[in-house]
Chains A and B, each alone.
Chain A
Amino acid sequence: MLKLLFRSTLTALGLALLVAPTALEAQLRNVVSKEVAVGRSEAALRLEFSDDGTLEIAFEDGVVLINGAVAGMFEPGDDLEVAWRSLLGQAVSLDDGELAGMLSDWSVPAGLASELADLAQDVDRALEDALSSFDVTLRSDDATVSLSIGDEASLLRLLLNSTSRLGLMQQALAGLRGDFTIHVDEDLVVPAGTTVDGTVVVIQGDVRIGGEVDGDVVVVDGTLELLEQSRVRGEVRLANARLLRNLGTVEDGLVDLSDEERDLKSEIRSQVREEVREEFRSQLRREIRDVTRLEFSDDDSGFSLMAPFRSVFRGVGELIKNLISILVLGLLGAGAVAFAGTKVDTIAETARRAPGRSAMVGLAGTLLLIPVWLLGAVVLSISIIGIPVAVAWLPLFPLAACAAGVVGYVVVARNTGEWLADSQYPWTGWIRKSNPIYTIFGGLFGLMFAFMAANVTSILPFLGFLTGLLAFAGAVITFFAIQIGFGAVVLTRAGRRREWSSTYDADAAWGAAMDMDIEVDVDATADQVEEDPDDA
């Protein structure tokens, strides 16, 4: 029933267009929405009409696009672009009727070069076609049906989009220019000796050409016969149509869009097949990777040939990580000594002389880091001027805090290295107290010794408790080292303020010079002097 109704409508509309031209009345469409976008390389207009139609014309990067299709090229700054931008400048302040009238009245600027003039003509036509509206009134004995048609092509698009099969016609219409004669649901005969001007479109009808068509011939849902001596001066396009006989001449060739559609389907099918294949391959790769990873993972479930070596791999891996950490921290420390040796000395001296105070300050500083960070951001955000500073403050403050922690830790490592150099512990003979690089690396080994020992014991069986104990000890040592170092950095304002004024210690200097330990009890010596002044 619906199909019958649809066919009847097509027939009626086709007849209306053909036999009742006087029933057409042109007027401007209602523009309900407008968008004008102007940039350095773009000047675009987008309109929406009350009947849901749209028009989009864009001059973009040297290309003119009409409803997304390339209409031609222009040179940025040429007369056509200037005229178009001027038109958009006027369109900005107008709406609906005034806008439609202004756009519809636009004409091709005078003095354009021929190619630009053609392009301008296309733009003008697109504007006029989109903005013009035709009212078709069909009258019969018992009813009147009114229909508004946006432009000459919209009726056709409306009809052709109604079924997916007829959607082929959109391809058939692509790029066609000039006058159209549309026949819906009827046959067309062009007798020998006659000529039809312009493009002929026949929908749901058969075409028999004995004469001449001065344009393209498009057949949808029908058949085409080209008789002897017949001539088509354009292209023949068949959309879901058959060519019964081809005895005439087609100057621009014949295109079977059904074949194209078949090719397109085939191409899509191949693409889908390829995508599925690729998906399958990547799935397989993922599974293989997961299986391989399982072999080395900590998951003890199931049997694996690698199981006996897991602890060795893990322990050695962790040990290497710690060694790399020592290397990186040592290099950072060496850099700090090289570029800010005096400041490092000041921080080290404070950490050595007042480790408890430094640790307390470091702990308090650590606890206050986040509140200070947030408060600083809020205070800076109060003023507009402060906002850029706040933006810098947000990332830089945490970075500075981390840097202070790292430098503090390295400084404590240096002190530890000096202490190890003085000690008689085995394997510490290589640490030369006079060279800060040695003391830093020595100290780092000392501070991280517990971690590395834990890495070694983790390789061996039955030593889990000892491993945990060593790791805990390492964590405690690291925590206090960082707190002491960070506190010393804070106390000395990053080494700029000396906490302790250096005084000359003659005994220490003598001891250092003689490489011997001297302990002098000053009070006892004084008492002795008082008791035996002569001996003294």
Chain B
Amino acid sequence: MRKAFCLVAVAAAVAPGILAGQSWRTVTTSHLIEDNDEVRVFVEYSAGRLKVRAADGGVLYRMNLRYDEDIFEPVSDFSSDRLRLGVESIGRGFNIGRRQQSGELDLEFARGIPMDLDLEFGAVRADIDLGGLALVDLDLSTGASQSTIDISEPNSVGMSTARFKIGAAEFEARHLGNLNAERIEVDAGVGEVTLWFNGRWQRDAKVSIDMGLGALELWIPEGLGVRLRKNGFLVSLDSEGLVKRGDAYYSRDWEDADRKVTIDLDAAFGSVKVEWVR
């Protein structure tokens, strides 16, 4: 998979000559914080590079978008505490392949404003850091993408469920503990999924992983109580550091752990590997 991305990167490097005919447009929008209670944010981005960060300086959101205006039109609509950002296809041209590869979307959202965040993207290289945001709900859906999600700072408000729907992708989520979620759902189709269960767990949590075909790596910090229940067909489990009791695998300090995470794994084909973070 990494080789494939290297090839894509090389293609992107030589692409400018090929892409001379494209009509690039850059749009920057921002909106100040007003009397916002809870903002529902919906981001849709089909192809390109996506970055999400926390914003500073009293800005509710800031969007820097670079896109091909022959194919897309920007979406930036904020009304009644509902925010829609991203691009929409305008149905001209043949929207596949290299033409979509070089678009860029950089997003920044306000810290401290309660946010229901819904991110939906397709063939995207995503670098998302949700640290510092006050997330009351999170839905993330990817297509064929290479995505890295980091929650670098704890979520100041709790959420009931964080959902990740991953298509054919290389997906990595770090500091899942900082999500401050009661439940985390990961629904992965095909690809490589790496989940880091580090961060600050403020409550016990349940994690549900539904995997089709691919490799799953679980990075678990020492001291976190983990119970892993596997239900799979043709799935190899490398459960080093876990002790099997009954139909579940337990971390050695399960009973004594301050915070306990139960992982329900349902996979069809592939491999599952458990690694420990010291």
Known A36-B27, A95-B57; further 15 A-B contacts with Cβ < 8 A: A30-B32, A31-B32, A32-B34, A34-B31, A35-B27, A36-B28, A37-B74, A40-B23, A95-B59, A381-B190, A384-B5, A384-B146, A385-B7, A385-B8, A391-B97
CB contacts under 8 Å to B, within A1-56, are 30-40, 42, 50
Q: What is the distance, in angstroms, from A321's C-beta to the closest C-beta of chain B?
A: 34
A residues in contact with B31, CB < 8 Å: 32-34
Q: Is A369 an interface residue (CB 8 A)?
A: no
24 A-B residue contacts at CB 8 Å?
A31-B32, A32-B31, A34-B29, A35-B27, A35-B76, A37-B27, A37-B28, A38-B25, A38-B27, A39-B24, A39-B25, A39-B69, A40-B23, A40-B24, A92-B28, A95-B62, A378-B168, A381-B144, A382-B190, A382-B213, A385-B4, A385-B8, A387-B144, A388-B97
Q: Is B135 an interface residue (CB 8 A)?
A: no
CB contacts under 8 Å to B, within A356-402, are 378, 381-385, 387-388, 391
Q: Given A95-B30, A388-B96, decide whether A381 and B25 contact each other with a Cβ distance below 8 A.
A: no
A residues in contact with B69, CB < 8 Å: 39
The one of A30, A33, A382 in contact with B191, judged by C-beta atoms closer than 8 angstroms, is A382
Q: Are B32 and A95 in contact (CB under 8 A)?
A: yes
Q: Is B233 an interface residue (CB 8 A)?
A: no
Q: Is A96 an interface residue (CB 8 A)?
A: yes
CB contacts under 8 Å to B, within A86-105, are 92, 95-96
Q: Are B30 and A33 in contact (CB under 8 A)?
A: yes
Q: Are A378 and B23 in contact (CB under 8 A)?
A: no
Of the candidates A31, A34, A42, the one having the most CB atoms from chain B within 10 angstroms of its own CB is A34
Interface code B1-37, partner A: CB below 8 Å = 1, 0 otherwise? 1001101100000000000000111111111101000
CB contacts under 8 Å to A, within B51-98, are 57-59, 62, 64, 69, 74, 76, 78, 96-97
B residues in contact with A391, CB < 8 Å: 96-97
A49 and B27 alpha carbons, distance in the complex (Å): 19
Q: Given A384-B144, A385-B7, A391-B97, decide whether A35 and B168 contact each other with a Cβ distance below 8 A.
A: no
B residues in contact with A34, CB < 8 Å: 28-31
A12 and B245 alpha carbons, distance in the complex (Å): 84
CB contacts under 8 Å to A, within B137-186, are 144, 146, 167-168
Q: Are B32 and A96 in contact (CB under 8 A)?
A: yes
Q: Given A383-B4, A387-B144, decide whether A95 and B29 contact each other with a Cβ distance below 8 A.
A: no
Interface code A421-457, partner B: CB below 8 Å = 1, 0 otherwise? 0000000000000000000000000000000000000
Q: Are B190 and A378 in contact (CB under 8 A)?
A: yes
Question: Which residue of B is nearest A99, CB measured?
Answer: B30
Main secondary structure of the interface of B (DSSP, over half): strand
For chain B, the count of residues having a C-beta within 8 Å of the partner chain is: 35
Question: Which residue of A is nearest B192, CB measured?
Answer: A382
Q: Are A96 and B191 in contact (CB under 8 A)?
A: no
Q: What is the distance, in angstroms, from A182's C-beta to the closest C-beta of chain B?
A: 32
The one of B8, B59, B190 in contact with A384, judged by C-beta atoms closer than 8 angstroms, is B8
Question: Which residue of B is nearest A45, CB measured?
Answer: B28
Q: What is the distance, in angstroms, from A91's C-beta to the closest C-beta of chain B?
A: 8
Q: What is the distance, in angstroms, from B142's C-beta to the closest C-beta of chain A?
A: 13
Q: Is B123 an interface residue (CB 8 A)?
A: yes
List 3 A-B pairs, minimum CB-CB distance, nearest first.
Answer: A39-B25, A36-B28, A35-B29
A66 and B271 alpha carbons, distance in the complex (Å): 61
A residues in contact with B4, CB < 8 Å: 383-385
B residues in contact with A31, CB < 8 Å: 32
Q: Are B58 and A96 in contact (CB under 8 A)?
A: yes
Question: Which residue of B is nearest A46, CB measured?
Answer: B29
B residues in contact with A32, CB < 8 Å: 31-32, 34
A residues in contact with B1, CB < 8 Å: 383-384
A residues in contact with B62, CB < 8 Å: 95
Q: What is the distance, in angstroms, from A88's C-beta to the closest C-beta of chain B?
A: 9
A residues in contact with B146, CB < 8 Å: 384
Interface code A126-137, partner B: CB below 8 Å = 1, 0 otherwise? 000000000000
Of the candidates A35, A50, A381, A382, the one having the most CB atoms from chain B within 10 angstroms of its own CB is A382
A387 and B32 alpha carbons, distance in the complex (Å): 40
A residues in contact with B34, CB < 8 Å: 32, 50
B residues in contact with A95, CB < 8 Å: 30, 32, 57-59, 62
B residues in contact with A50, CB < 8 Å: 34
Of the candidates A33, A92, A95, A384, the one having the most CB atoms from chain B within 10 angstroms of its own CB is A384
A391 and B168 alpha carbons, distance in the complex (Å): 14
A384 and B101 alpha carbons, distance in the complex (Å): 11
Q: Are B168 and A381 in contact (CB under 8 A)?
A: yes
Q: What is the distance, in angstroms, from A131's C-beta to the closest C-beta of chain B?
A: 15
Q: Given A382-B168, A382-B190, A385-B4, decide whether A33 and B27 contact each other with a Cβ distance below 8 A.
A: no
B residues in contact with A388, CB < 8 Å: 96-97
The one of B29, B30, B64, B123 in contact with A387, judged by C-beta atoms closer than 8 angstroms, is B123
Question: Which residue of B is nearest A387, CB measured?
Answer: B144
Q: What is the distance, in angstroms, from A50's C-beta to the closest C-beta of chain B?
A: 8
A387 and B46 alpha carbons, distance in the complex (Å): 14
B residues in contact with A35, CB < 8 Å: 27-29, 76
Interface code A176-207, partner B: CB below 8 Å = 1, 0 otherwise? 00000000000000000000000000000000
A100 and B111 alpha carbons, distance in the complex (Å): 24
Q: What is the distance, in angstroms, from B28's C-beta to the closest C-beta of chain A?
A: 4
Q: Are A42 and B25 in contact (CB under 8 A)?
A: yes
Q: What is the distance, in angstroms, from A130's C-beta to the closest C-beta of chain B?
A: 17
A40 and B34 alpha carbons, distance in the complex (Å): 34
Q: What is the distance, in angstroms, from A456's C-beta to the closest C-beta of chain B?
A: 47
A residues in contact with B8, CB < 8 Å: 384-385
A34 and B123 alpha carbons, distance in the complex (Å): 29
A residues in contact with B28, CB < 8 Å: 34-37, 92
Q: Given A381-B190, A382-B190, decide whether A38 and B97 contact each other with a Cβ distance below 8 A.
A: no
The one of A38, A96, A385 in contact with B26, judged by C-beta atoms closer than 8 angstroms, is A38
Q: What is the distance, in angstroms, from B82's C-beta to the closest C-beta of chain A?
A: 15
Question: Which residue of A is nearest B190, CB measured?
Answer: A382
A residues in contact with B24, CB < 8 Å: 39-40
